[in-house]
Chains A and B, each alone.
Chain A
Amino acid sequence: MKIETTLSGSFPKLPLEPGAPNVRVVRNRMDQGKSTDRDLADATRETTRRIVALQESAGVDIPVDGQVAWDDEQTYFARGIQGFEIAGLIRYLDTNTYYRQPEIVGPISWTRAVTVEDFRTAQKMAHRPIKAVLPGPYSLYRFSKDRHYRNQEEAAGAVGEALARESKALEEAGAAWIHFEEPWLGRATSSDAPVVRAALEPLFRGRKAKTVLHVPFRSPTGVLDAIRDLTWTALGLDLVEAPDAWSVIPKVPPGRTVALGLVDARNTRLENPSDIAKAVERARSMRSDLTWQLCPTASLEYLPVDRAAMKVSRLTEAARLASGDGG
């Protein structure tokens, strides 16, 4: 059976080839007054084109747009939502990357699509369905500082409603897959279950697109009972940094998909595709009633672009081996 491949989150924005359109250079030149917004838009579009092409030429089945315009994983979306203000820089969990902390300063209200144009742009460049990537509502809530709501469930629910509206807009624009990056599900415990449910439930009401809840860095063991019966299509697990996530697989409801995060997005050491294929086989031997995707453990932007590109190739090679195609 074919194992589909996909990526999680963003992708390095710097080019592999010197002289190629480079958003970093353009943004530096903008700071010096030497480049314009239009230059940045051009570089962003060409970088997206390169990232989509890289994935397609490697054989990724469900590519992403790379989130080229995003400064971090939270604020690009939060800036576009009423009720959020963006505050100081804070470290993104235990990574040496940072985000500006969203602050909830009033009622959260979705008034316009934030990511739909980016999705359309990437989809026009692609021959395969682009997976739209959004922050997960529970994580966006936990990454934010709430200065408005008195009640955690109410606040998390409002964030969930905003992301549900965004998801609907993406669906209407043609998105077949919507990915929610949910690192905080790996840090939640059973006592967080009501807040987790409040954040996630709105996402799946009337949803037509296939959905992924991807949990990088840690296992979602602590809240598995709270999310099991939600109607997500796929659950993404980080099986490298969180080997205990293997214990989640037996508890996944029948008929669902597990996205196996077996390519380490946080270390340059390159995996052997046959080792990955063996790990896929291990997962398949555990459950015959699930379908499988293969993906990196997290966003590949934790790596330099050369290694990220190599990891994409290893990923697709491993999927071919695991699918019995070319092994």
Chain B
Amino acid sequence: MPRGLWTTTVGSFPKPPHLERARSQFARGEISAERLNELEREATIEVIRSQEEIGLDILVDGELYRGDMTTYFAERMEGFQISNPVRSYGNRYYRKPVATGPVRRTDAWTVDWWKFAQDQTSKPVKGMLTGPYTMMDWSFNEHYPSREALAMDLAEAIREEAIALVEAGARFIQVDEPAISVRPEELKLAVRALGRAVDGVKAKTITHICYGDFDVIYPALLDLPVDMIDLEMANSRYDLLDRFRQHRFTKEIGYGVLDVHSHRIETKEEVKQGILRGLEFLRPEQMYIDPDCGLKTRTVEEAREKLAVMVAAVREVREERGITA
């Protein structure tokens, strides 16, 4: 009997409103770091419990203690300052790192949070990092002479963190590289930087890529030196499958079936159809089913409902196709 169609998520979960308020209060100096940390730990326990209840196979800590996916790391490194907010779309803003000197890791960024999350569950929890190419591309650079120089210094720092996570017990290390999909002329640099970041990391390695022009980077994308590539499928109406038809997808795939930018809860049937379409081109043991991207822009309830639909759809497909987890 084939195994496969394991369920997971891409990384972030929505912060509950009381935690959002607490973060604002902390920013205004109205509550202490200890109090905020206490609330973040409570919320992380809740996210782990929720994932177990929904029935996901591979969990995440939910990143409830992080703001932006680059700024969180830059704030903890030497060589970075943080800018005032910059708009990404509509009314969404983020503070962007500014490399003002040589960047380096001076302390662990996520290991304690990973340990805390893993202590709450017997299921595996992924270690979640942002990749060197994306960190470079999404930062302003006032120091380095080239993009490559900044990316490769970042790769060294990220590798140190990935190895520390594995030493702490992580079996899955995800190094997100959403920026890779937009500069095909720099794919070789991205491959080299990601390769350095996961060099010697003894775990299943994953990278997540989203919202780009896959016409120009596929199948070169398969050169990325990781075990699994996580892709948004639903947002592009599964158009990527046409590329898989032309050139077989050779790695494991994180197969996104939920549109994380829509309030609408998908139906079980449409998620199921998305998975079945994937099975025309992919083997079940290649496929990890998840949302298109992080869920942090949804409400807690929307995220839960979407994931419940996803797990129900996977269960039906497994049953119909005789696939076990």
Binding site for B on A (CB under 8 A): 12-14, 23-24, 27-28, 71-72, 88-91, 93-99, 267-269, 301-307
Given contacts A89-B261, A98-B88, contact A268 B211 (CB under 8 A): no
A91–B90 touching, CB < 8 Å: no
CB under 8 Å from chain A, chain B span 206-255: 211-212, 235-236
B182: A residues at CB distance < 8 A: 91, 93-95
B90: min CB distance to chain A, Å: 4
B261–A268 touching, CB < 8 Å: no
A71–B89 touching, CB < 8 Å: yes
Instruction: Indicate the size class of the contact surface on chain B.
Output: 20 to 34
B175: min CB distance to chain A, Å: 17
Show 29 A/B contacts (Cβ-Cβ < 8 Å), sorted by A. A12-B87, A13-B87, A14-B93, A23-B91, A24-B91, A71-B89, A71-B91, A72-B90, A88-B236, A88-B259, A89-B211, A89-B261, A90-B212, A91-B182, A91-B211, A93-B182, A94-B182, A96-B88, A96-B138, A267-B140, A267-B141, A267-B142, A268-B83, A269-B142, A301-B87, A303-B86, A304-B86, A306-B84, A307-B84
A247: min CB distance to chain B, Å: 18
- Of chain A, the residue at the smallest CB distance from B183 is A94
In the bound assembly, the distance between CA atoms of A27 and B141 in angstroms comes to 31
Query: Which of B83, B89, B137, B140 interacts with A99 by CB under 8 Å?
Result: B89
- Of chain B, the residue at the smallest CB distance from A27 is B91
A181: min CB distance to chain B, Å: 16
Query: Which of A97, A98, A268, A305 interacts with B142 by CB under 8 Å?
Result: A268
In the bound assembly, the distance between CA atoms of A88 and B86 in angstroms comes to 21
Is the C-beta of B96 less than 8 angstroms from some C-beta in chain A? yes
Binding site for A on B (CB under 8 A): 83-91, 93, 96, 98, 137-138, 140-142, 179, 181-183, 211-212, 235-236, 259, 261
Mostly helix, strand, loop or mixed at chain B's interface? mixed
- Of chain A, the residue at the smallest CB distance from B140 is A268
Known: A14-B93, A89-B235, A304-B86. 18 other contacts (CB 8 A): A13-B87, A28-B91, A71-B89, A71-B90, A71-B91, A90-B211, A93-B182, A94-B137, A94-B179, A97-B89, A98-B88, A267-B141, A268-B98, A269-B140, A269-B141, A303-B86, A304-B85, A304-B96
